[in-house]
Amino acid sequence: MTEQLTPADPARIGGHRLLARLGTGGMGVVYLGRADTGELAAVKVIRPEYAAEPDFRARFRREAAAARRVRSPWVVPVTGADPEAEAPWLATAFVPGPALAEAVARCGPLPERGTRILGKILARALAAVHAAGLVHRDVKPGNVLLAVDGPRLIDFGIARSPEETALTSPDAVVGTPGFLAPEQAQGRETGPAADVFALGCVLAYAATGRPPFGTGAVDALLYRTVHDEPDLSGAPDGVRDVVARCLAKDPADRPTATGLDAVLVEDAPEGTAEWLPDDVVRLIADRSAAMLALPDAEATVAGAAEAAPAAGRRRFLALGAGGAALVAAGGGAALWAGLRDEGGSGSAARRWTLGVQADLSGPQRAAGRAQERGVRLAVEQFNARERRPFELAVAVADDRGDPAEAERAARRLAADRDLLAVVGSTGDKTTGAALGAYDARRVPQLTVSSAQGAYGTASRRSLLQTVPTYGTTSLPAALFLQAEGVRRVGMVIDRAAGEFAWEEGHLAYKTLGLVELEVHPRVVPRSADSPAAVLADVLDRRPDAVYYAGSPRRAADLAHKLLARDFTGVRILGYPAAGPEFTARAGPAAEGWEVFAPYIDPEAERVAGFAAAFRKRYGHAPGRWAAEAYDVAGMVLDRLTEAVLGGRRPERGRLFELLTGSTYRGMVREYAFQDGYLQGVEAFHYRVRHGRFAYAGPADVGA
């Protein structure tokens, strides 16, 4: 997908007329350009701060020359480069098709034959890379483009000769976690075998729709890559055996790229895409037609300032603790009357849509229903105002907490051209499953309770996490332990509970160390029947406190064991385990456990006005996460209003920019973002009293 050029973008680079932006990254901007010969190219332009470094230029010079040495129809060729230019650039032939990551996210896994043919062609591509004396080092679904005449391997941004490592820090991990070989994950020397391992990961993803080592925090991904066996469940037999060989931990046990080509005895038709499913072929055709139909761009001037916002812009939406209040600004009606929507009709008559994707009937239905009702209340209060710039509808999709249904629900919602943003989904797995569909259509996706730190291969072009990620609540926990005079902490990280437990526990371990607490961590294996199995070792260290990251059921087992051992120290429970199941199973053993969570108590004074409005509307008290969902809906409404009063059509991309580029003060917390993540760690303290989690007030998060 392309984005419009900005006024600050140059008109030409190295003989290429720039037409659009293809993407941005940490190192620079990639443009779609048209050469003087008429051919399209992807032109990567390096950021000035890197161009000023002599070492970086040396590396860029080497890598541009290295990429030119590769000769294969399945590797996108370098068509030009200028490492000495003021803004160094490199151009490759443009492939107007989707990445494998997008194709799988939107259309599902490939069939067995399609996966094997993909593997055979990519093995040939890697064989050519290795024959040129290079290692690609970042083979992943996002670097495999699907074209009408076959796949292409792209991006030699970090490819180099195996001996050329001087410009890389010895302990740096280069590549994409989840698609790295164990030797890469450990920062050791890598060779062609690392590319074969990565290809195995890509084929596992193509066949199952998920990376073989899961998703989640980077540290967790690297740990599983080095120590765990890949999850190949669901992969066809004809794919599983080949992939398993590629994913051998020892590089010497993996096949070569040439050997893999020979093993995959398939009819690999050149010049066609008939080996792909029909919906993927249609996606390739649609993307190719859209890209190739781009007109020449108007000239822009490098360094030109962006247009200033309309003078006198006024914000007139305020969502406070007592509900929504609309403050009309003088002259606003004239602005509304002049707006036009995509169809050319007056926007005041247009009914735009805010989506809610949630688990309304599955394992997290209580949180999902609370979030849906929080969003509805905010929108209803907005629509009840007499003077409003637009009317907003709410479209709801129940994904039942199932990743497959979450992907289908996201596709349905994203297909609505009037959908401007979506709040959801409720859980980590469903959020990750839905991300590809929303990202493909640039629908801003705002999570309320999904706190995972990473979502595999999906990009973050449209995702905003409005909740602190797992483990960040360990900061107030650490400060609390410090204030209680705790010196030694026994930490139990229960891997059987899932990704969140590892992510939460690992970051908590680091955070506790930062405040100079002595931490003794123990990891409970997936196969262990109970975390209590490691308790004796933890208590042998004579800790003043025990910190558990895991599930509510297994937390209850641990609580019973601690009570039986007469442990009287502080007990910290990671918030994902804090719920009715823990208190019901633990009984008296739950008393006194401390929890630091990102959600506010619905009865807290800070949200009293909201709670009263919620009771009036629904006849019962709000549940956990309802206030946060109301806040997030209020933020979307506020930014939409800003777009409308600024005279702008509220397009999805523009709305995402407004959401990420400014700060919103809600009832629960302040919302400001960097790279899609919430900044700040506002948390709330709970303590089990008389069988329930009693609210103890806002947590101390330091200065």
- 646, pLDDT greater than 70: no
Class of residue 689 by CB neighbours under 10 A (exposed 0-12, middle 13-18, buried 19+): middle
DSSP string for residues in 492-536: EEEGGG-HHHHHHHHHHHHHHHHTT-EEEEEEEPTT-S-GGGGHH
* pLDDT of 285: 82
CATH of domain 100-291: 1.10.510.10
> CA 217 to CA 493: how far, in whole Å?
14
Q: How confident is the model at residue 659 (pLDDT cuts 50, 70, 90)?
A: very high
> CA 193 to CA 181: how far, in whole Å?
8
Q: How confident is the model at residue 313 (pLDDT cuts 50, 70, 90)?
A: very low
Give Cα separations from 117 to 143, 602, 605 (angstroms): 17, 54, 61
What number is the average pLDDT over the span 263-287?
A: 79
Q: Report which of residues 495 and 461 the model is more confident about.
A: 495
What are the residue numbers of the active site?
138
* pLDDT of 26: 57
CATH of domain 317-468+646-662: 3.40.50.2300
- 498, pLDDT greater than 70: yes
Each residue's pLDDT tens digit, 506-523: 888 888 988 889 999 888
Q: Report which of residues 275 and 318 the model is more confident about.
A: 275
What number is the average pLDDT over the span 37-51?
A: 82
Q: Say if 317-468+646-662 and 474-597+686-698 have the same CATH topology.
A: yes
What number is the average pLDDT over the span 242-270?
A: 88
> CA 126 to CA 153: how far, in whole Å?
8
DSSP 3-state assignment of 166? coil
Each residue's pLDDT tens digit, 154-179: 875 433 434 333 333 333 445 788 89
* pLDDT of 130: 93
CB 684 within 8 Å of CB 598? yes
Kindly report the number of other CB atoms within 10 A of residue 148's CB atom.
16
Both tokens of 62, joined, read 């080497």
CB 627 within 8 Å of CB 667? yes
Q: Where are the domains of the chain?
A: 12-93, 100-291, 317-468+646-662, 474-597+686-698
- 260, pLDDT greater than 80: yes
Proportion of the chain above pLDDT 70, given as a percent: 85
Spatial neighbors of 436 by CB under 8 A, at least 6 apart, are 101, 102, 104, 105, 106, 407, 410, 458
Q: What is the C-alpha end-to-end distance of the chain, expressed in Å?
A: 42
- 108, pLDDT greater than 70: yes
Please tell us whether the domain made up of 12-93 is placed in CATH 3.20.20.70: no
Strands 463-465, 419-424: pairing kind: unpaired
Each residue's pLDDT tens digit, 558-615: 999 999 999 999 999 999 999 999 999 999 999 999 999 999 999 899 999 999 999 9
Q: Which of 164-168, 182-186, 460-464 has the lowest mean pLDDT?
A: 164-168
CB 367 within 8 Å of CB 624? yes
Each residue's pLDDT tens digit, 115-130: 999 999 999 999 999 9
Please tell us whether the domain made up of 474-597+686-698 is placed in CATH 3.40.50.2300: yes
Q: Report which of residues 702 and 239 the model is more confident about.
A: 239
What number is the average pLDDT over the span 688-695?
A: 96
Average pLDDT, the chain: 83
* pLDDT of 456: 57
